[in-house]
């Protein structure tokens, strides 16, 4: 772009199912504007199946995402991209603090975006070009899942808002309802400094699922319960962000009547603690799915209490996550990373006969190296709780759920019954439960595996006092 233009490039800050494909299609109707899609998506560059853009390959982007950012900025047309909360976080501070990057913020009623996402996942139809090919489905509303959806959106919006405020910038705000409004789109072009105007929106894409909400859900009555879980939530259309929220406490578990609560470590297997908690509480179901308010209510009802978590050896926890979530789970982006960067291709679920000890070792070693890079901000994949360091998980929960005890898995039989001493309770013995595995850590463990584990989780080894893993 020329020096006279207000911007050199742009970003559409959005989320899945907010209308960003519609906005992209309409921006591309303007002469002098190019929107290249999700260029920092960990699975691809720009669009599904594409692995290069402006001379930058997928591997090069993963190694140094700034190369692609500068290539976009250097294009003669005003060029931009769509960016979601789980895209490569390494580029976010750079383009957000760059006043030559135009920020377009696209929002949608989170209830609508949640239901739309569920339908797209069920039908595997992410775009609609011809209504004749439309796939329909009714989906179930999950209050806990919806709360997590809202929390992710609000967390990213709060981060974006903070970056705008601290850099003295503003953004152009769009709502989902604006996606095909020609007057609004022409106003956006004027704000971007582009002279071209359009007379009609793009006809390449159609709005999906325009039916009333109750027709899209198998359990529409559950929506009221889901909305009641939220502390503060404004479903009205607004160009501002929803209120900032503290960390959610939905992961906590507590006895229904006894003053004992437990934070399961994300990604780690439950060694029988939840079953023991139900047992000591006369068989009552363990309380789960806390909101900030219901957790505060539980705390007030139990002023004398014991809140604990269980620490797992970093290598053992990583091995469990690798097996359950990468080998047998849904972490397609991690599987693709292991294949692309480390040359380890894991078989699909229906072809596990080809998975042997040699591939198990190679895959786990590659996974540990992925975690090391990911926790150091060197990959395009977002850090997930399942493989975040236990130290950071504990730090994150302490504001709303101060932990009184951190137990080790190997000492649970001794430590759990001891919780009752300070509460005036006589608690029964605890017998740990192990999950049998066909492929074990003991079968592949050696010095190289240990070194890779320490490279990935050095913080946990040091801060939590772990030694080398022992079977």
**Total number of domains constituting the chain:** 2
| pLDDT confidence of residue 363 | 96
Specify if 26 maps to a domain: yes
Structure-token match 């004992």, residue found: 260
- What are 293-332's pLDDT values in tens digits? 889 999 999 999 999 999 999 999 999 999 999 999 889 8
Domain shared by 129 and 212, yes or no: yes
Name residues whose C-beta falls within 8 Å of residue 330's C-beta, 6 or more positions apart in sequence: none
pLDDT band at 151 (very low <50, low <70, confident <90, very high): confident
The angle formed by the CA atoms of residues 339, 344 and 348, to the nearest 5 degrees, is 80
What is the average per-residue pLDDT within 352-379?
Answer: 91
Which has the higher per-residue pLDDT, 394 or 137?
Answer: 394
| pLDDT confidence of residue 237 | 33
Structure-token match 């239901």, residue found: 115
Cβ(380)–Cβ(65) under 8 Å?
A: yes
What is the average per-residue pLDDT within 229-249?
Answer: 42
- SS3 of residue 112 by DSSP: helix
Specify if 409 maps to a domain: yes
Domain shared by 183 and 252, yes or no: no
Q: State both tokens at 413.
A: 């039989």
Cβ(348)–Cβ(279) under 8 Å?
A: no
Cβ(310)–Cβ(272) under 8 Å?
A: no
Specify if 379 maps to a domain: yes
Q: Produce one character per residue of 131-150: b if its CB has 16 or more CB atoms within 10 Å, e if not.
A: eeeeeeeebebebeebbebb
Crossing angle between the packed helical segments 20-27 and 182-192, to the nearest 10 degrees? 70
Cβ(415)–Cβ(405) under 8 Å?
A: yes
Domain shared by 260 and 201, yes or no: no
Domain shared by 192 and 261, yes or no: no
Q: State both tokens at 229.
A: 């879980």
CATH number of the domain residue 196 falls in: 3.40.50.300
Domain shared by 298 and 208, yes or no: no
Specify if 1 maps to a domain: no
Longest dimension (CA), the chain: 77
- What are 198-230's pLDDT values in tens digits? 998 888 766 666 677 778 888 888 887 777 766
289: left (phi over 0), alpha (psi -120 to 50) or beta: left
Specify if 35 maps to a domain: yes
Using the predicted structure, report yes or no on whether residue 91 has a pLDDT greater than 70: yes
Specify if 241 maps to a domain: no
| pLDDT confidence of residue 3 | 54
CA–CA distance, 83 with 105 (Å, rounded to integer): 10
Q: What percent of the chain has pLDDT over 70?
A: 91
Residue 167 lies in domain: 9-228
Domain shared by 275 and 404, yes or no: yes
Torsion over CA: 55, 61, 63, 69 (sign): positive
pLDDT band at 174 (very low <50, low <70, confident <90, very high): very high
- What are 252-303's pLDDT values in tens digits? 999 999 999 999 999 998 899 999 999 999 999 999 988 888 899 999 999 9
| pLDDT confidence of residue 152 | 86
Cβ(338)–Cβ(372) under 8 Å?
A: no
What is the average per-residue pLDDT within 459-465?
Answer: 93
Closest among 315, 309, 343, 348 to 330, alpha carbons compared: 348
Domain shared by 262 and 170, yes or no: no
| pLDDT confidence of residue 256 | 92
- Residues found in the chain: 471
Domain shared by 289 and 414, yes or no: yes
Please spell the DSSP secondary structure of 324-374, one letter per residue. IIIISSS-HHHHHHHHHHH--PPPPGGGGGG--HHHHHHHHHHHHHHHHHH
Domain shared by 144 and 272, yes or no: no
Q: Produce one character per residue of 304-335: b if its CB has 16 or more CB atoms within 10 Å, e if not.
A: ebbbbbbbbbbbbbbbbbbbbbbbeeebebbb
Under DSSP, the state recorded for 200 is S
Domain shared by 82 and 51, yes or no: yes
210 exposure class (CB count in 10 Å sphere: 0-12, 13-18, 19+): exposed
Using the predicted structure, report yes or no on whether residue 23 has a pLDDT greater than 60: yes
Domain shared by 274 and 221, yes or no: no
Specify if 239 maps to a domain: no
pLDDT band at 434 (very low <50, low <70, confident <90, very high): confident
CA–CA distance, 47 with 45 (Å, rounded to integer): 6
Domain shared by 259 and 324, yes or no: yes
Specify if 220 maps to a domain: yes
Using the predicted structure, report yes or no on whether residue 1 has a pLDDT greater than 60: no
Please spell the DSSP secondary structure of 203-269, one letter per residue. SS------S-HHHHBS-TTHHHHHHHT-SS---S--SSPPPP-----TT-EE-SSSSEEEEPPTTSP
């Amino acid at each position: 772009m020329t020096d006279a233009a207000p911007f050199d490039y742009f970003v559409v800050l959005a989320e899945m199912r907010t209308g960003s494909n519609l906005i992209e299609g309409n921006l591309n109707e303007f002469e002098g504007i190019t929107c290249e899609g999700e260029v920092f998506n960990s699975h691809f560059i720009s669009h599904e199946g594409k692995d290069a853009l402006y001379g930058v390959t997928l591997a090069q982007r993963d190694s140094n995402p700034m190369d692609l950012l500068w290539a976009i900025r250097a294009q003669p047309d005003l060029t931009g991209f769509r960016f979601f909360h789980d895209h490569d976080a390494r580029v976010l501070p750079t383009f957000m603090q760059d006043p030559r990057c135009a920020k377009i913020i696209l929002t949608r009623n989170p209830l609508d975006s949640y239901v739309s996402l569920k339908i797209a996942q069920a039908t595997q139809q992410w775009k609609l070009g011809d209504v004749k090919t439309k796939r329909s489905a009714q989906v179930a509303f999950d209050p806990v899942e919806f709360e997590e959806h809202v929390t992710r959106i609000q967390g990213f919006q709060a981060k974006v808002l903070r970056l705008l405020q601290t850099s003295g910038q503003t953004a152009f705000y769009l709502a989902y309802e604006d996606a095909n409004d020609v007057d609004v789109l022409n106003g956006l072009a004027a704000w971007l400094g582009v002279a071209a105007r359009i007379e009609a929106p793009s006809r390449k894409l159609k709005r999906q699922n325009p039916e009333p909400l109750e027709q899209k859900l198998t359990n529409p009555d559950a929506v009221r319960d889901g909305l009641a879980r939220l502390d503060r939530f404004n479903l009205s259309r607004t160009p501002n962000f929803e209120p900032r929220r503290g960390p959610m406490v939905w992961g906590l578990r507590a006895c229904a009547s006894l003053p004992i609560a437990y934070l399961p470590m994300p990604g780690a297997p439950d060694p029988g603690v939840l079953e023991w908690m139900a047992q000591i509480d006369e068989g009552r179901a363990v309380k789960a799915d806390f909101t900030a308010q219901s957790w505060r209510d539980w705390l007030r009802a139990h002023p004398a209490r014991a809140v604990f978590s269980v620490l797992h050896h970093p290598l053992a926890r990583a091995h469990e996550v690798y097996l359950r979530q990468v080998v047998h789970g849904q972490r397609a982006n991690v599987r693709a990373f292991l294949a692309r960067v480390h040359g380890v291709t894991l078989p699909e679920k229906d072809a596990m006969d080809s998975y042997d000890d040699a591939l198990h070792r190679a895959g786990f070693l590659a996974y540990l190296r992925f975690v090391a890079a990911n926790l150091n901000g060197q990959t395009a994949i977002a850090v997930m709780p399942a493989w975040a360091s236990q130290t950071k998980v504990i730090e994150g929960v302490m504001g709303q759920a101060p932990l009184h005890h951190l137990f080790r898995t190997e000492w649970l039989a001794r430590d759990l019954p001891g919780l009752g001493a300070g509460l005036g309770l006589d608690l029964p013995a605890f017998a740990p439960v192990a999950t049998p595995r066909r492929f074990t850590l003991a079968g592949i463990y050696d010095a190289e595996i240990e070194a890779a584990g320490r490279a990935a989780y050095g913080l946990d080894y040091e801060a939590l006092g772990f030694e080398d893993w022992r079977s």
